[in-house]
Amino acid sequence: MDRKRGFISLVVLLLIFASIVHSFFHVVVYGTGIPKLAENGLSGYSVGKLDLGEEFSSFYPFRADFSAIIVIIEWIFVISIIVFFYTRRITGMKVEFDDLMMSFHSENSGTKTDLDKLYELLKEKKRLRLSNVAKAFNVDKKVIENWAGALQAGKFITIEYPRFGEPELVFYSKEPYSEKS
């Protein structure tokens, strides 16, 4: 799952990078067409007797329009990917929070402390976002970070800090003090 997520992130980042580079070269070669904003391109006459965009246009008359269309399509695609991942993240957080609240309220509280409840929830769910845990326990994120630090010191959980998004509490799958057989 993490490899797939990493591959998708890499592809999206490469797409955004390619869009930025292509947009930059389009502005340099063809210009923006907007008065007083790199209207005719930034290259000027340093490359040849004609403006660089004019030289390309004389050899390939459809290139400027085609390049502009490709730039627009690239940015529409990039923006739609960003919106898709953002909405997916928001709905995923909502679903995770609702599931967490159901598990949180279904447990018998008895004499368990909140730290015990957190550990039991992590045992069940395996991975939880820090903000969802803070909302479920109705405490500040700093309190959850302290609890997570205590559980991490005991090697019961780990705290993962992804490139994008917020920290996640992950259940440590191995027994902390298991005896070797």
pLDDT tens for each residue of the chain, 181 residues long: 567 777 877 888 888 888 888 888 777 777 766 666 556 665 554 455 555 555 555 555 556 677 778 888 888 988 998 898 888 888 888 888 887 777 766 665 566 788 888 888 888 888 888 888 888 888 898 998 898 888 888 888 888 888 777 888 888 766 555 444 4
Q: What is the DSSP letter of 128?
A: E
One-letter amino acid for residue 142 of the chain: K
Global pTM reads: 0.54
In angstroms, the CA 40 to CA 34 distance is: 9
Domain ranges in the chain are: 2-91, 107-171
CA distances from 132 to 13, 27, 54, 159, 172 (A): 27, 44, 56, 14, 19
Start-to-end CA distance of the chain, whole Å, equals 31
Question: Residue 100: is it exposed, middle or buried by C-beta count within 10 angstroms (0-12/13-18/19+)?
Answer: buried
Number of helices (H) and strands (E), helices first, in the chain? 6, 3
Q: Architecture of domain 107-171 in CATH?
A: Orthogonal Bundle (1.10)
